[in-house]
Structure 1
Amino acid sequence: MNRPTYLYDLDALGTHAAAIRAALPSRVELLYAMKANPAPELLRTLAPHVDGFEAASAGELHHLTRTLPGVRPAVLGGPGKTDPELTAGLAAGVHRFHVESPHELRRLSALATAAGSTADVLLRVNLPVNLDGAALVMGGAPTPFGMDPEQARDCVRLDLPGIRIHGVHAHLASGLTAPAAAMVARRIVDWAVSQLGAHEVNIGGGMAVDYTDPANIFDWTRYGGDLQTLLAEHPDLVLRIEPGRAVTAYCGWYLTEVIDVKRSHDEWFVVVAGGTHHLRTPAAKGHSQPFLHLPRTDWTHPYPRPRTGDGPVTIVGQLCTPKDVLARTVGTNTVSAGDVIAFAMAGAYAWNISHHDFLMHEPPSFTVGNLKELADV
């Protein structure tokens, strides 16, 4: 390999997205939260399977319209939206604005009125829901995301010009199992309908992705069944979800070559090209990234080839920090310099959240295909 490579399996992504869509009731609109991975080839692959996209900034919004000309972005969300970002959303004709605060709603009203347009809004609400077991919490406690329930009630009573409020958006947590996600959905819907008379509810994403067991995939069939039961109780309700990680994580691989193998204080270290400045996921979430070890036999150098001995290994990158760890004390077969490590589940929150410029290493390459077809392996 010349340098680390991201490999996106678009066939697998399309199959996975189609299965998600098939598991959901027809009355559930499926949006893709493009913050998880905005790679153009992924957006184009997902477009036939989703009802729209969630952009969390003007940058994402512009990227989406460049990648998919003519697409009407479904929603513009994200905390701390500036006036230029709100204006960009109005100019793009976004389907819904997810408004984070009363002040943001007033600013949007002024901008929409000045532009002679109307902004269609869902109020992002931080509801007091028990979120025990969630991997990441954005609601149910003091957070910078969304507004308190009483503030949402006040927003509805404002009756601002240039604003149409349709209902509620509530993305409260990530890492939820199907039963937990369904429970959260019910709590959100019940509150939105009973307290605000909402006609639309976006219950967010946050479906669990298990990096310790890649085969343990979120139970979309059970979740879809629970949402069907919920919708039967609210026959006029529009329900939306906006998963990101759970859609694209499985389609991506990060492949890199072993540069060195060494023993330090009775522990084996495998040093690979690249590192967490390319794939930040394991450092951000504090886990070992699942991987495949792909041995290579084409060693032609005149010096000995280092290889691991007995015991677990820790796989690290090229950065000048002990935090540059991709997998810690994991069991594997003997690893030799020149072998390839293929890190799985690298299709979401990977390259796009990484600190690319630290040490100014060369960026990875990007390609599409599947692992068996990659010519260098």
Structure 2
Amino acid sequence: MTRPVYVHDLDGLAAHARAVRAALPPRVELLYAVKANPEPDVLRVLAPTVDGFETASRGELRRLAEVLPDRTPAAYAGPGKTDRDLAAALAAGVARIHVESPAELRRLGALAVAAGTTARVLLRVNLPVDAPGASLVMGGGPSPFGMEPADAVACARRPPAGIEVRGVHAHLASGLDAPLAGAVAAAVVRWSVDQIDAAEVDVGGGMAVDYTDPAARFDWAGYGRMLARILDAHPRLRLRIEPGRSVTAYSGSYLTEVIDVKRSHGEWFAVVAGGTHHLRTPAAKGHAQPFTVHRRADAAGPRTDGGPVTVVGQLCTPKDVLSRSVTAGPVGVGDVLVFAMAGAYAWNISHRDFLLHEPPVFRTGDPQRVAAEWAARPYGRR
């Protein structure tokens, strides 16, 4: 039995990133949110296309410095920044630090003065902007993210020594379709320009990814047209977006092998090597991860009857569910399953040490070709 494998389609990732960049107005800066997938190969492939990288920890700063030593991080974000975090961002020369509270701004100012430098910041603001239909909401109500609008106005008007306030950052929700993402961006820019005369606005990411339809894509062209209209109304504005999931989700696949197939109280279960400790996305988002089956002709074990099947992993918890499918067809022991859309918030957010199973293997290439080669090999037990 082969260990589960993550396969990254780097050619597909590069093509998708170029298409995203081409759909956006030239004046919109495209940052990649490293938190979505910090794999070195992913960062290297995106580097020629994106305008910069958004980081959210000292670990991400280190990763970027190791993989792309000539690229200065474009942004440093995240709640709960310690003085060590802020000092590391200053030392790395981060172009813009996204500040979450007045207290954080004061601490950053003191560190900048002590270092003999000036910190250029965007104030993260929790604006009361509606986002109906969003899958995850981080603003518009009580939230640990960002500061009250009135506090942001006060910080912009009277920044502490060592601070240059350049504008606003507002990542308010995720799972937005293009019309809603454009409307949110317009509302954020309106407030930022009207209230603090912002020269720069980062409207965040949160572009929708539809796990029920692997072929669907966010309407980047439509979104680009909406951002162009915003820029037409504010010709001196510097506008940024920072997508993550919507850039890399489609380029990664998680491949694994069926260990056992059984019926329980009238329902079929396929138990695979690995599980949500490798691929936490379906558990985190509460969805069925889309998958295809590469059948192994020489496997002699049991097979489902082609009806609905629940795919589970090796963990001692009923939450270790990767997918539920009514369309997979027969699934048997030894078959190789290819879970698509595993290129973001997958291995990097998984509870990888639970039960201390071996980690997956990582490689690049065409995931369907890798799966076909795997399924063609003689089936054997560990």
**Normalised by the size of structure 1, how large is the TM-score?**
0.98
Secondary structure, counterpart of 1:362 in structure 2 = coil
Residue 21 (structure 2) aligns with: 21
Residue deviations 1:215-264, cap 9 Å, x none? 22100000001110110000000000000000000000000000000000
User: Among 369, 372, 377, which residue is 1:373 paired with?
Assistant: 369
Residue deviations 1:133-162, cap 9 Å, x none? 000000011110000100001111223111
Residue 378 (structure 2) aligns with: none
Conservation of the 8 A alpha-carbon contact between 2:8 and 2:367:
no
Unaligned runs of 5+ in 2: 376-382
Residue deviations 1:324-360, cap 9 Å, x none? 0001253311111000000000000000000000000
Residue deviations 1:50-84, cap 9 Å, x none? 00000001111111111101211000001000000
1:356 is the counterpart of 2:352: yes
Residue 66 (structure 1) aligns with: 66
1:296 is the counterpart of 2:292: no
Secondary structure, counterpart of 2:132 in structure 1 = coil
User: Among 320, 323, 326, which residue is 2:322 paired with?
Assistant: 326
Residue 89 (structure 2) aligns with: 89
Residue 258 (structure 1) aligns with: 258
Residue 52 (structure 1) aligns with: 52
- Partners of 1:294 and 1:195 in 2: how far apart? 57
Shift of 1:131: 1.3
1:129 is the counterpart of 2:129: yes
Moved more, 156-165 or 279-288: 156-165
Residue 380 (structure 2) aligns with: none
Shift of 1:317: 0.3
- Partners of 2:328 and 2:214 in 1: how far apart? 17
Conservation of the 8 A alpha-carbon contact between 2:336 and 2:374:
no
Residue 30 (structure 1) aligns with: 30
Residue 208 (structure 1) aligns with: 208
Identity within the alignment, %: 66
Residue 219 (structure 1) aligns with: 219
What is the total number of aligned residue pairs between the two structures? 373
User: Among 309, 315, 318, which residue is 2:311 paired with?
Assistant: 315
- Partners of 1:13 and 1:77 in 2: how far apart? 24
Unaligned runs of 5+ in 1: none
Residue deviations 1:96-155, cap 9 Å, x none? 000000000000000000000110000000000111100000001111000010000111
- Partners of 2:306 and 2:163 in 1: how far apart? 66
User: In structure 1, what residue type is equivalent to 2:169?
Assistant: H
- Partners of 1:319 and 1:356 in 2: how far apart? 11
Residue deviations 1:12-70, cap 9 Å, x none? 00000000000000000000001000000000000001000000011111111111012
- Partners of 1:190 and 1:351 in 2: how far apart? 38
- Partners of 2:127 and 2:143 in 1: how far apart? 11
- Partners of 1:259 and 1:186 in 2: how far apart? 51
Shift of 1:310: 4.4
Secondary structure, counterpart of 1:20 in structure 2 = helix
Secondary structure, counterpart of 1:49 in structure 2 = coil
> Which of structure 1's runs of 4+ aligned residues deviate more than 3 A?
none
Residue deviations 1:265-316, cap 9 Å, x none? 00000000000000000000000000111111133xxxx5111014200000
1:142 is the counterpart of 2:146: no
Residue deviations 1:173-218, cap 9 Å, x none? 0000000000000000000000000000000000000001112210
Secondary structure, counterpart of 2:206 in structure 1 = coil
Secondary structure, counterpart of 1:48 in structure 2 = coil
Shift of 1:166: 0.4
**Normalised by the size of structure 2, how large is the TM-score?**
0.96
Secondary structure, counterpart of 1:181 in structure 2 = helix
Conservation of the 8 A alpha-carbon contact between 2:305 and 2:329:
no
